[in-house]
Structure 1
Amino acid sequence: MGLFDRFKRQPSAGQLAAQGDAEHLANWAHSHEGVEAFVEPETAVTEVTVVLVDKYGEWTRRRVGGERGARKLGEDLKIPVYDVRKTRYPQRMRDYDERQRIQRKRAREHELRDGS
């Protein structure tokens, strides 16, 4: 260990979490087709977040470091960024959630019927 190594600034837990969130979003966007970003406003309990939605409606949500972070994410990933307060969530996202709900219900019914 060098003389000044102990004085090097270590990333905070928040910075590490933000980096992890950014990596997750980038990886997710690269592994899905037709991805768009929807910026969600800060609330009393959450920071500004972004929801990435692919062309089938599958989605993921993470913190992005505010409105500016969301816009930068869109630029970096070359995807459109929308303000969810203005555009609302896309219908395909709601349709995807409904399909997932139906599949979970069918799986539970199958488990009950088969005694698994």
Structure 2
Amino acid sequence: MAWFRRRSGSPTGRQANGADIAHLEQFIQSRRGVEAFIEPRTTVTDTTVILIAFDGEWTRRRMPNPLAVRQFAQRWSVPVYDVQLVGYPQRMRDFNERRKRSA
């Protein structure tokens, strides 16, 4: 069935671009205590990185692969974790809950 074929190697058809990297860099520069968490590629989504600040505020962007996430984190001196091994930090869940209550 033709509508299931993808022309690129990306599950979503879109790879990380300069705007994604610029957004991540801006997030790191404007927040304290940022850590990176690698989310693996699946059949539905590309590899992504979630940056989580000390207060639980977070952002997510596509990355080409886990190695690219590690290199990006090293360049910015940000700790990097594999979300499949350590899970998401409680501060992220607390931030999401606070945001829900305020909406």
- TM > 0.5 fold call: yes
- Tell whether the 8 Å contact from 1:18 to 1:65 is kept in structure 2 after alignment: no
Unaligned runs of 5+ in 1: 1-13, 105-116
Equivalent position of 1:52 in the other structure: 51
**2:22 matches 1:23:** yes
Q: Which has the higher contact order (CA 8 A, sep 6+)?
A: 2
AA aligned to 2:24 is L
Q: TM-score, normalised by structure 1?
A: 0.74
User: In the comparison of the two structures, how many residue pairs are matched?
Assistant: 90
AA aligned to 2:79 is P
Query: What's the RMSD between the two structures over aligned residues?
Result: 1.2
Output aligned runs, 1:56-71, within 5 Å. Answer: 56-71=55-70
Distance in structure 2 (CA, Å) of the matches to 1:33 and 1:79: 11
Greater than 4 Å deviation, 4+ residue runs? none
Q: Larger Rg: 1 or 2?
A: 1
Distance in structure 2 (CA, Å) of the matches to 1:53 and 1:79: 10
Unaligned runs of 5+ in 2: 1-13
Q: TM-score, normalised by structure 2?
A: 0.83
> What percent identity do the matched residue pairs reach?
46
Distance in structure 2 (CA, Å) of the matches to 1:85 and 1:47: 15
User: What SS is found at the alignment partner of 1:20?
Assistant: helix
Distance in structure 1 (CA, Å) of the matches to 2:37 and 2:93: 14
Distance in structure 2 (CA, Å) of the matches to 1:30 and 1:64: 19
AA aligned to 2:43 is A
User: What SS is found at the alignment partner of 1:50?
Assistant: strand
